[in-house]
Amino acid sequence: MAQTDLRALQDTEFPVPEELQANIAITSLDKIYNWSRRSSMWPLLFGLACCAIEMIGTAASRFDFSRFGFEVMRGSPRQSDLMIVSGTVTKKMIVPIVRLYNQMPEPKYVLAMGACASGGGPFKEGYNVVSGVDKYLPVDVYVPGCPPTPQALLYGMITLQKKIDGQSLANLDDVPWYGVGPSEPTPVPVLGPDIIDPRQMELIREQAQQAALEAPFGARELPAWVNPTEVAQEATAVVETQEGAEDGVDPAKAARIRKREEAMARLAARRAAKGGQ
Ligand code: SF4
């Protein structure tokens, strides 16, 4: 039976004699937590277009991504922690894709496979195609190519493993699902005559009113969704209020609360900045 190679877990800060390294590992909680997550990723089983054939090839015996811990693909989003977006994302399909993403438990990752998923590919600006799945979902790794080869997909998967290795339990920004609770679900786009992003509903309503009055409505000018400076100021006010209410509270608990508030404020500011682009 194959044995686990403990050398992958060694923390260089605490050297172990070489002859013992196969049997003893001195490591950190971060390292063992990340090692167990990255060594057992379960991709969601779905494909969108020609790239999916390459993804299937990567899973099959010749390339076999199980060797890297990606194991069998899961047929349910509730059992998956990796979404490989393999193919052209049409406006019709982005709706169920976002819904499936919301049904995946945290921590979860997204890999955009190929030119279509990364930026629209040969169909960019097509009337029915989304110019990159990252318009709606947070993508962790992009794999270029049309289609990418199985080797390229494997490289992207290994890159994702390296990203997971770099996450730290001590940094709440790195592990938001752990530090500040479950993330907000991504708004599911609405498919009408065209795709509608509910995050821009206010703007769309405003422009519709302007259009009804036959006034110029600047359809090509998308203002910042939320002003990041205002968000940061609000966050500071929250932290100050927290500090003022700390009298008589356990200092360790107060520090934990403050850290959580700060991380949430940074998260909100980042989201606001992203939404305003
Ligand atoms: S990137 Fe190329 S191979 Fe992949 S789905 Fe688009 S057109 Fe097909």
Task: Walk along the chain (277 residues) and give the pLDDT tens digit of each residue.
Answer: 345 667 777 777 777 888 887 788 888 888 888 998 999 999 999 999 999 999 999 999 999 999 999 988 999 999 999 999 999 999 999 999 999 999 999 889 999 999 999 999 999 888 899 999 999 999 999 999 999 999 999 999 999 999 999 888 887 777 777 766 667 788 888 887 778 888 888 888 888 888 888 777 665 444 445 555 665 666 666 556 555 555 566 777 777 777 778 877 877 887 787 665 5
| Atom 2 in ligand 1: residue holding the nearest Cα | 146
Q: Kindly give the interhelix angle for 29-38 and 150-165, rounded to the nearest 10 degrees.
A: 160
Give pLDDT, residue 245. Answer: 52
Ligand 1 atom closest to Cα of residue 147: 3
Task: List residues near ligand 1 (CB under 6 A).
Answer: 49-51, 87-88, 114-116, 121-122, 146-147
| Atom 6 in ligand 1: residue holding the nearest Cα | 116
- Measured CA to CA, the distance from residue 118 to residue 196 in angstroms comes to 20
> What is the whole-number distance in angstroms between the Cα of residue 100 and the centre of ligand 1?
21
Q: How far is CA 202 from the centre of its chain?
A: 25
> What is the whole-number distance in angstroms between the Cα of residue 249 and the centre of ligand 1?
57
Contact 76, 39 (CB under 8 A): no
Q: What are the tokens at 222?
A: 């998308």
| Atom 3 in ligand 1: residue holding the nearest Cα | 147
Ligand 1 atom closest to Cα of residue 145: 1
